[in-house]
Copies of this chain bind each other. A is one copy, B any other.
Amino acid sequence: LEAEQMMEQLIHWVRVDGSGLGRPQLPGDVPTNSMAVPMMLLCLVQQLSEDRRGVEQKYAELGSWCVQQILQHVQRDGAAILENVSADGSELPGCLGRLQNPGHALEAGWFLLQYAAERGDEQIQTTAIQKFVELPYESGWDKAHGGLFYFLDVDGHCPTQLEWSMKLWWPHSEALIALLMAYSQSRKAELLQSFFQVYEYTFSHFPDPAGGEWFGYLTQEGKVALDFKGGPFKGFFHVPRCLYMCERILDDLLASKE
């Protein structure tokens, strides 16, 4: 299978030697554990393993490694998720170490929830809900204008990313999935309330009533800042995945009521 061959290549780059990616290790560049890597690898493990028992077995150790790498991002005695940590899981100095990406944390949250549900692992489920769903939702929500910030600094300083205060479509897509999945697994009413809040903001700001589809990029105040529907980072991915998964979870919730 071609996908599994590519997966072997990816695993080699992530766990053995990343020099084949053409980004030479420069002096002074400390190896970091960036949330994106174990998160997306876990997503691939789940995609390749779905309903295929032999493959599931094959990637079991890798999946567990990804989860441990993701959990390294719980920092400050459990009070914050940090986007970049050192290779051995401690906080990095400077603005790189203080960086938070609430949308990424929420996305990792529902990957962990899926992982926990497949295994009936209540400990990972609890960590996922408290640390990767409730925490980034609380700290990432803009109390003044609504919506999730793109980046934050854990100490409340101004992030160095020029776009830090913008409201992007995908953190909201991921938040909808994460909050609804967390509710369906825990039945905590506050999670459904939070889902409604994100739903209200999302559907009153991102869809384009005139031209269809969603806008991707709003100012902090919620005005459309970039008016295209597709671009270098916005494709047919986060929106359909969000709508499909939320509909499936809502159907299951309704079915379980009957």
Question: Interface stretch among A69-77, A82-90, A156-164, A193-201?
Answer: A156-164
Query: Contacts A160-B232, A219-B219; is A165 near B26 (CB within 8 Å)?
Result: no
Q: Which of B23, B160, B163, B227 is A162 in contact with, Cβ under 8 Å?
A: B163
Copies in the complex: 2
Is B225 a contact of A162 with CB atoms below 8 Å? yes
Check if A31 is an interface residue, CB within 8 A of chain B: no
Q: Which of B23, B159, B227 is A158 in contact with, Cβ under 8 Å?
A: B227
Check if A166 is an interface residue, CB within 8 A of chain B: yes
B contact residues around A24 at 8 Å (CB)? 22
Interface size of A in residues (CB-CB distance below 8 Å): 23
Check if A203 is an interface residue, CB within 8 A of chain B: no
CA distance A120 to B163 in the complex (A): 44
Query: Contacts A22-B24, A26-B22, A219-B219; is A228 near B162 (CB within 8 Å)?
Result: no
